[in-house]
Structures are given as C-alpha cells and as structure tokens.
Amino acid sequence: MNEFVISSGHAKIVRGASGYLDEVNEARKVVPKVAEYLKELDCKVHTFNDDTSKTQRDNINKIVKYHNSKSRDLDVSVHFNAGTKETGGTEVLYYGDGNKALATKVSKAIADALGIKDRGAKKRTDLGFLKGTSKPAILIEVCFVDTKTNADAYKKNFDECCKAIAETLSGKKLNEEVKPVEKKSVLHKVQVGAFSDEKNAAELAGELKKKGYSVNIVKVNG
Ligand SMILES: [Zn+2]
C-alpha cells in the first residue's frame, strides 16, 4: 500500500480516554510521526485532527468525511485504549474480514515495539469510523492509558512504535540510521622510494628483500 489517510481518534473538544496518558494528546503525536516515517518510505499521506466538533456524532462524521474525500489505499484511525486492570496491550480493530490479516500484523508490530501484550486483531461492526470509511480501514488501539506499564513502555519506545506502524502499513523497511557503517579494511603501505629508472627501483627492492621485507614495485605514471 502506498497512500494513506491517518487521523487521530476523538477531537480537541470531544475528548477520549485519560489516565497515565491522555488519548487525544498522544494520538495527535503518533499520527504526524507515523506520517513522517511513511513519507520517508515514499508513501503519500494525508493526516487529520478534528479541532472543532462539539458532539461525538459530529466528530465521527467529520473524520469519516475527511477520509472519504481523499484518494488512498487504507484508512487508519489512531486511538488509545482504557479499561483493563490487567496487563493492557495493543489491539487493532477492523470491520471487513479482508482487513484482519493487516490488523493482526500491525497489532503484533506495535506490541513488539513496545514490549507489551499483543491482544491482536478484533472484529468490530459497531464503530462509526470502520463502518463509514469506504476503503479498507483499521483502528489502532496503541496501548492502555490506564495501565502504567503500557504508558511507560509507550513513552520510552514512542519512535519505535511509530516506525513499526509505518513499516507494517507500507510493507517496507526504514533505513537504520543508527547502524554503524561497516568499516572497510584499510591497508597502510610504506613507501621507501620512487625512481624514474626501473633499474634503480629494482636495486632498492633487491636490497630490501635481502633484509627480509616483502617488496612490491608499483608503476605509476608520473
Ligand atoms: Zn478512542
């Protein structure tokens, strides 16, 4: 897939979940970072945050309308979960069965990047975003805002999380900038003389050979 619309869940006024993390604030950080990585991967990305809706219905309608107004291969909504008192984890929600495989992959990629539980793909037929968007769609629940271990893991691995999303959506790998460039082996040659007359060069080479050095005569155009 090459072209995406990614929006943050809920709205500036119609807020989402909060706990150790605030869902709307964090979704608004994930969306641009994922978009940045997708652009690095030569993908086209449109992003959207709803700053104006005052009701939940307006909010869903506004988000869906934006998505459906763009050309794209996939619609992505970024949320954070709440409500578990257990270990939390990552979930990716989908509606059409054709999106289950991608949802599974994205969920695993995020869970691995954060080092938290992979709760996997979950089919949901009741969500306005998944029902209203006309292209394949997934709704990402990055982690639980009210599970402290999840919040800590997310804060620590934010970049890795966004990279994992971008790589999984695009099916491409980002360049590892941190990887040190492989060192090429370098030979240090010792030069002891340069002669225009080949005979003189051969003489010096002979003397050095007698002393036990390994010698090469290299011809250079002067
Ligand atoms: Zn949400």
Question: Each residue of 191-207: pLDDT tens digit?
Answer: 887 888 888 888 888 88
Residue 182 binned pLDDT confidence (cut-offs 50, 70, 90): low
177 CA distance to ligand 1 centroid (A)?
33
Residue 3 binned pLDDT confidence (cut-offs 50, 70, 90): very high
DSSP state of 146: T
88 CA distance to ligand 1 centroid (A)?
15
Q: Which pLDDT value is given to residue 214?
A: 84
Question: Each residue of 37-60: pLDDT tens digit?
Answer: 999 999 999 999 999 999 999 999
Residue 20 binned pLDDT confidence (cut-offs 50, 70, 90): very high
73 CA distance to ligand 1 centroid (A)?
23
Residues with CB under 5 A from ligand 1 (ion): 9, 16, 79
How many Å apart are CA 116 and CA 141, to the nearest integer? 13
Q: Which pLDDT value is given to residue 183?
A: 66
Task: Taking residues 97-118, report their average pLDDT.
Answer: 98
172 CA distance to ligand 1 centroid (A)?
28
Q: Which pLDDT value is given to residue 24?
A: 98
173 CA distance to ligand 1 centroid (A)?
28
178 CA distance to ligand 1 centroid (A)?
33
74 CA distance to ligand 1 centroid (A)?
19
Q: Using an 8 Å Cβ cutoff, are 57 and 72 in contact?
A: no
Question: Each residue of 131-166: pLDDT tens digit?
Answer: 999 999 999 999 999 999 999 999 999 999 999 999
Residue 5 binned pLDDT confidence (cut-offs 50, 70, 90): very high
DSSP states along the chain? --EEEEEEEEESSS---BSSSBHHHHHHHHHHHHHHHHHHTT-EEEEEEE-S--SHHHHHHHHHHHHHTS--SEEEEEEEE---SS---EEEEESSGGGHHHHHHHHHHHHHHHTS-EEEEEE-SS-HHHHH-SS-EEEEEEEETT-HHHHHHHHHTHHHHHHHHHHHHHT-----SSSPPPPPP----------SSHHHHHHHHHHHHHTT----------
